[in-house]
Amino acid sequence: MEEHLFWIASRAAGAVALLTASAAVAVGLAQSLRVPPRVRGLKSAHEALSLATIAAIALHAVTLLGDGFLHPSVADLTIPFVSSYERLWTTLGILSAWALLALGLSYYARGRIGVARWRMLHRFTALAWLGAVAHSLGGGTDAGQAWFLAAVAIPAAPALALLLVRMTRRRPAPAARRQVSA
């Protein structure tokens, strides 16, 4: 057990990151779609889930440093294409992690960035989340196992459904939006 402790801890942290990221994306999309309308606390829940995701991603990477099988370096875990283990999936995970970190923390700099620019950038969070899901399904040691596929699908399905609604939803023309908000 001791020899696998870091690997098990990293898998657990990765699973938590996937769960919290899926929930954060779902809550964020629910807010933007106003589904359900006027639910108090969604903004706080979205922020807490986003911060929990960032912490779980960091723990996922840090615990891998102690893994006795992979023996990864800090560079292997933070720089795309450096790791020789499942290079494509590891790189996708690293890129997704950095994107989720930057996009999640950009909320605290939106005053400097500008709210309109921040909202446009924040839309890329869904792409980073999809990359993280693909990282889990492609590079995880449990990838392909029925129980793992179900464990990924359960939290990811609502977020994916809301993302599809968001992407296919017709937006009013700019003039119509001005009249509605006036």
Span 68-123, pLDDT tens digits: 888 999 999 999 999 999 999 999 999 999 999 999 999 999 999 999 999 999 99
The CA distance from 155 to 75, in Å, is 30
The CA distance from 63 to 69, in Å, is 12
Whether pLDDT at 33 is above 80: yes
pLDDT-derived band at 19 (thresholds 50, 70, 90) equals very high
Task: Please report the pLDDT score of residue 164 as a whole number.
Answer: 95
Whether pLDDT at 158 is above 60: yes
Q: pTM for the complete prediction? A: 0.88
Task: Please report the pLDDT score of residue 141 as a whole number.
Answer: 76
At what angle are helices 125-139 and 5-33 packed, to 10 degrees? 150
Whether pLDDT at 8 is above 70: yes
Question: What does pLDDT average to over the chain?
Answer: 90
